[in-house]
Chains A and B, each alone.
Chain A
């Protein structure tokens, strides 16, 4: 891919990024020289063993953490801090308890004074996409964990970010709800044609949703390999069963699990 193409509209460029956390005496090199590119409308998955620096990379893209080396650009503009163009969904429940579901989803637009989008029914559109229309007037504490994550997803999407960031958004959910959420997310991502960077350590999730899997090795986090699974773009695959039945799935899963095990040994 040429440099001109890399600087294409709305592509994310992570260029030799490193992060060292320094405490009083000791310092931890969390991430070292990580580079990858996410073209527009593609889903990039950050995968790797626990503690390898996935969250750190994601938080640097969000602008919530400042890199100690390297640069990050989105559509050619440098990332200097958090902004509406890079929305984020966290692992924990972050729906605001003092707002109803609808108010939560509308929050980003209100914050930016985007009353045009509010009038055009953006909020209803995304409530519909995540299947929460019926719960629009409920309080978050009346919802299940999966529904609360759908609120967080709809809230991030409603602010119409160029890039959607997610840090193990389904990590706190039980297995059954997680599959449902993965399938829902696949549907929403395909429909909205979002550019996404997502952290997970669930291999199945990575293969189902990713156009590109950036596999990080641990201590310090470096890019070990980049894998391009074919499943997200295959419109025949809609559910977990479709994915598992695909002839290439078993082999890819085995390879990734093998890498995970190797990294875990260090």
Chain B
């Protein structure tokens, strides 16, 4: 359509097709051949309702299986049923002040992750955008990525004491190197054509960084953050095993001493639920931030 599109109410159809289209409109609607839609189909879209339904179904199967396994034989205190775990969870919150443990853990995770992001995202963006910066920091960051964060616990204890600072530092060490590397890779995905287009439109390097490189890589950076926050949760128990008096991990370690398996499982359950909530929040954030990626 070389003519401006707005001048035509209806899209142009070639003349030959126009006549057949008219004659078929006069006939009754024709139902299509029955085509079998397979349950396992690549890239088949799933409705929102089926998504919920399928997700809940898998959970139910898991819980019922667990319940059956735990209650079928003799009652085993080392393998409580889901109901016993729920019961333990209730007692923890109602009678033993577990809420303050959860809050302590949540605070550590959020502060450490915020600090990790506020260093890793700017550094990752600079590394991904400018090869010289990457050459300088890349080898350093890669080396640190291979060092296991828990190995730093003794050092952190000596340097930072036994308080929150030490736990936050450990959680940071656990994710920051991966965050830097992944953000750098996200930024490197920016198409060269985008950058060159902005150059030929007269953009300075600073402006191109802010108006092309950052918006082009931001969706993937948010996904990276979502995934690394999940990793952060997996470090929580390690961070709270040593020299901790509060937090979900500390509760789990106390319960282990008294072989309260149901309390341990309740702690694990809470971590799982909080992780899931964080994930959903990030998905919501993604949906709000990137309206142009909503359905594709």
* Chain A interface residues toward B at CB < 8 A: 62-64, 81-88, 90, 92, 94, 96-98, 107-108, 111-112, 128, 131-135, 139-141, 152, 155-156, 159, 165, 179-181, 183-184, 187
Contacts and interface: CB of A to CB of B under 8 A. Distances in A.
A185 B191 CA distance: 26
Nearest to A131: B4
A220 B202 CA distance: 31
B5 A132 contact: yes
B95 interface: no
Contacts of B2: 131, 179-181, 183-184, 187
Contacts of B196: 62, 64, 82, 88, 90
Contacts of A165: 200
B201 A159 contact: yes
Given A96-B216, A159-B201, A139 B193 contact: no
A77 B257 CA distance: 81
B196 to A, nearest CB: 6
Which of A84, A97, A128: most chain B CB closer than 10 A? A97
B193 A90 contact: yes
Interface stretch (B60-68, B207-215, B247-255): B207-215
B90 interface: no
A128 B6 CA distance: 9
A204 to B, nearest CB: 15
Contacts of B216: 96, 98
B10 to A, nearest CB: 13
20 contacts: A63-B199, A81-B199, A83-B202, A84-B202, A88-B200, A94-B197, A96-B212, A97-B292, A107-B201, A108-B202, A111-B207, A111-B211, A128-B4, A131-B3, A131-B6, A134-B5, A135-B5, A159-B202, A180-B1, A187-B2
Contacts of B53: none
Contact of B296 (A90, A141, A155): A141
Interface string B1-24: 111111000000000000000000
Contacts of A187: 2
Given A64-B196, A94-B193, A111-B211, A156 B201 contact: yes
A112 B211 CA distance: 12
B6 A133 contact: yes
B4 A133 contact: yes
Contacts of A84: 200-202
Contacts of B199: 63-64, 81-82
The 3 closest A-B pairs by CB, nearest first: A84-B202, A131-B4, A108-B201
Contacts of B201: 84, 87, 107-108, 111-112, 155-156, 159
Given A94-B194, A181-B2, A139 B200 contact: no
A86 B202 CA distance: 9
Nearest to A239: B2
Contacts of A111: 198, 201-203, 207, 211
A90 B192 CA distance: 11
Which of B6, B197, B292, B293: most chain A CB closer than 10 A? B197
Given A86-B200, A111-B203, A133-B6, A96 B290 contact: no
A58 B202 CA distance: 17
A175 to B, nearest CB: 14
B20 to A, nearest CB: 19
Contact of A96 (B200, B202, B215): B215
B56 to A, nearest CB: 32
Contacts of B191: 92, 94
Which of B5, B196, B201, B215: most chain A CB closer than 10 A? B201
Contacts of B194: 94, 96
Nearest to A134: B6
B197 A88 contact: yes
A112 B202 CA distance: 7
Contacts of A63: 199-200
Nearest to B199: A82
A62 B5 contact: no
A87 B207 CA distance: 17
A112 B290 CA distance: 25
A156 B197 CA distance: 9
Given A98-B218, A141-B292, A156-B201, 10 more contacts: A88-B197, A96-B194, A96-B216, A111-B203, A111-B207, A112-B201, A128-B4, A131-B3, A139-B292, A180-B2
Interface in B1-50: 1-6
A141 B296 CA distance: 9
Contacts of B207: 111
A151 to B, nearest CB: 11
A241 B62 CA distance: 69
A180 B12 CA distance: 13
Nearest to B7: A131
B279 to A, nearest CB: 23
Nearest to A140: B292
A139 B11 CA distance: 20
A35 B191 CA distance: 31
Contacts of B3: 131
